[in-house]
Structure 1
């Protein structure tokens, strides 16, 4: 357990402070990872500010860039402190002037293990790490250690020993010698993705988690409760709805050179708007636009979701943009749950709610390919079930069990369809995710379309074969007629044949 008088501060938080929520969660997760490795209390920034483009949708947001959210509104700091003790800055309020003057400023490239050995708490009560780049890059570059905190989380989640990093020589190697027998390789170690502690949703505030459960009850018509005596109870909750994240606004403007330059000119950053030089980039914007419009979405979602499925859509677009999809699916948006989301005051809190809704769904679809891997990484509490499913080791029925809540993580229910930890449901979207795992059969309408397509192709093939047969018969007939015409030039004499005399002309 970390000593409350042994502090770690990363500074400055200026570059990350107004980035998107996922970006800031990744950066803060990296700082928390190093604090866990060092056994120190992390001094957190007191608030995070909203990125300008992320203040436009949800009512309650102020002017772009002018809204800052207290950390205590987004996170359950008391629960988080059971894993990594945290206090809110500034650090001047947490230590004496004498201790602050004696604070150790670690070198920028000094790794966590070196900080621990060179600056123990007994000699350096306050350690400060200056990070001029984005904070999450410290873990990406392996300067800050994130492995120890992921190991602790997997242990708290009840993951098997295979979750630990594999020791050399433990991998089973098949032998070519029959007398030597064969060794069955152990299951692969569970993933330890970087910068996902806060993105997992385990430590969101109780207010956010209550809002999520209220929305899930409204969408699925379920009680929102799980029965530990019934391992199918999670399935009954999770199967009720699917989810889609449609990201258009910033991803359409970011790839359009003309739009970017027009915005820069409006801010006085560019005097002349040059015509786009990269036609390919502009073409990519058109493709993104077409694929994320209702007709493009209908075509894609019909491959995975049954007709009239309940589908929650999280997007910067307003609900009326998706109106054409209502004939195929039962759509739900944040705007439909004003009562459940009455205490959600800004777009970052709304995004936190929608992220947990995606995690708890029966299947989720992301707009961009790389974002799908982000969702899978953030779903790491369900990684054990995912690994068991892929390796074929997953039991047909898993009995619910409970953890003691060590390390700030309490597993409340688990079965073969998902688990509930810290009040967050990680459903099939986090385990198999049918759209990407190809486990979901096509909808009935899609089946009929495929059958009709195959029938048409079979008919076309039959017609093609008939045409070939007709052409072959016509060619044979033409050959016979040509032979008969040539034979008429021969004269038959006494049962024999004689070539006619050549013409004298």
Structure 2
């Protein structure tokens, strides 16, 4: 009988003790969390992310090659990629996250539907209406961030970075122009800043990479951006590659590159005097015969829109074009840049890939005319010269 009163008295003491201990534990945990927690303003700037370089940022502008002479009109994808690659290289060099323009300008000259919408002897002259496209519709930014951390300039993170950098004043942001990346890295007035806002060369962004022709100084190879194609574009390319099987590929650039102008005597001249000749089917047949055996499947990517232009190649090869896969591509392709991203990914998977121009000395090419730095307008050549074509 004496046990029951003791048990009734023990319960209140036990409950009070447990409650007190719980409150004490919560208080201790709260104090510890306050001591070790990161300020909310910093958490907003740098959200949890697998990247480790997102505490400092590099911004070159809201549009590639702008401000500068390309603000009103933009160059083609290759030109813009050279500029973008230059900016990404600087971010990689500085250990900063690159703030990428959220949209990429599309030049109407490079946005014809062309070869993707051929029908019999007709070719569509229709162009895609858009004059720009979302950057993440071309590139897989998460995939890219494994090499160079990037965010878009329409993201919440970028908004937080801007807000915080303005609050920090001179400790938050610096506007720089004409300063080398080495100085930006080594001088503390720049290296400790949250944000560096660079005004790049008004000629083109890639002019900031003055050693771009020095292969040893290149941090990101030419193949970097082509390999970063958006996932839906890569998936489409992989399906086409699987259907093609074992294949070779050529990229035939004509269009804008074969343009001529008349000199003061009324004579046509060209910056690439052999290109029109070298990219015609009969000359291509002769050129590639030493690299591509008869009977091979040959995938052709080109901006040439004349129906049947490459048909003579079928005498030796099984020809394939992106237009053969329009049922797969039409639902996902919204502009010519996306189409070229797919075609380029396919060409990268070819056993033998032949470019129009050489990018480096090891490349196979359809022409020996140089691609860049050509300022001499010459009379075009449309036939074999000297001993050329003797083996064809």
Q: Which residue of 1 aligns with 2:261?
A: 257
CA distance in 1, matches of 2:249, 2:97: 37
CA distance in 1, matches of 2:59, 2:318: 48
CA distance in 2, matches of 1:313, 1:290: 17
8 Å CA contact retained: 1:21, 1:348: yes
Q: CA deviation at 1:12?
A: 5.7
8 Å CA contact retained: 1:246, 1:367: yes
SS at match of 1:365: strand
SS at match of 1:75: coil
Q: Structure 1 residue 70 and structure 2 residue 131: aligned?
A: no
Larger radius of gyration: 1
8 Å CA contact retained: 2:258, 2:270: no
Q: Which residue of 2 aligns with 1:8?
A: 58
> Which of the numbers 27, 31, 37 marks the counterpart of 2:87?
31
Q: Which residue of 1 aligns with 2:323?
A: 335
8 Å CA contact retained: 1:310, 1:330: yes
8 Å CA contact retained: 2:356, 2:365: no
Q: Which residue of 1 aligns with 2:193?
A: 124
Aligned residue-pair number: 297
8 Å CA contact retained: 1:257, 1:276: no
CA distance in 2, matches of 1:140, 1:202: 24
Q: Which residue of 2 aligns with 1:114?
A: 183
| Structure-2 change in CA distance of 1:96 and 1:244 (3 Å) | closer
Q: Which residue of 2 aligns with 1:349?
A: 338
CA distance in 1, matches of 2:126, 2:103: 16
Q: CA deviation at 1:374?
A: 9.1
1:148-167 equivalent positions in 2, closer than 5 A: none
| Structure-2 change in CA distance of 1:62 and 1:24 (3 Å) | farther
Q: Structure 1 residue 305 and structure 2 residue 292: aligned?
A: yes
SS at match of 2:241: helix
SS at match of 2:298: strand
| Structure-2 change in CA distance of 1:334 and 1:74 (3 Å) | same
Q: Structure 1 residue 205 and structure 2 residue 192: aligned?
A: no
SS at match of 1:337: helix
Could you state the TM-score of these two structures normalised by the residue count of structure 2?
A: 0.66
Q: Which residue of 2 aligns with 1:243?
A: 249
Q: Which residue of 2 aligns with 1:373?
A: 360
| CA-atom RMSD in angstroms | 3.5
| Structure-2 change in CA distance of 1:199 and 1:39 (3 Å) | closer
Structure 2: runs of 5+ lacking an equivalent:
1-50, 118-123, 368-389
Q: CA deviation at 1:354?
A: 1.6
Q: CA deviation at 1:52?
A: 2.1
Q: CA deviation at 1:82?
A: 2.3
CA distance in 1, matches of 2:271, 2:144: 45
Q: Which residue of 2 aligns with 1:290?
A: 277
Larger relative contact order, structure 1 or 2 (CA cutoff 8 Å, min sep 6): 2
SS at match of 1:361: coil
CA distance in 2, matches of 1:299, 1:336: 25
SS at match of 1:42: strand
Q: Which residue of 1 aligns with 2:146?
A: 82
Q: Which residue of 2 aligns with 1:469?
A: none
CA distance in 1, matches of 2:150, 2:90: 12
Q: CA deviation at 1:305?
A: 1.7
| Structure-2 change in CA distance of 1:3 and 1:39 (3 Å) | same
Q: Which residue of 1 aligns with 2:207?
A: 137
Q: Which residue of 1 aligns with 2:106?
A: 50
Q: CA deviation at 1:215?
A: 0.9
1:209-248 equivalent positions in 2, closer than 5 A: 209-220=234-245, 240-248=246-254
Task: Encode CA deviations 1:405-434: one digit per residue, 9 max, x unaligned.
Answer: xxxxxxxxxxxxxxxxxxxxxxxxxxxx69
CA distance in 2, matches of 1:297, 1:358: 17
8 Å CA contact retained: 2:176, 2:197: no
Structure 1: runs of 5+ lacking an equivalent:
148-189, 221-239, 259-274, 377-432, 437-452, 455-505
Q: CA deviation at 1:111?
A: 1.8
| Structure-2 change in CA distance of 1:112 and 1:357 (3 Å) | same
Q: Structure 1 residue 325 and structure 2 residue 313: aligned?
A: yes
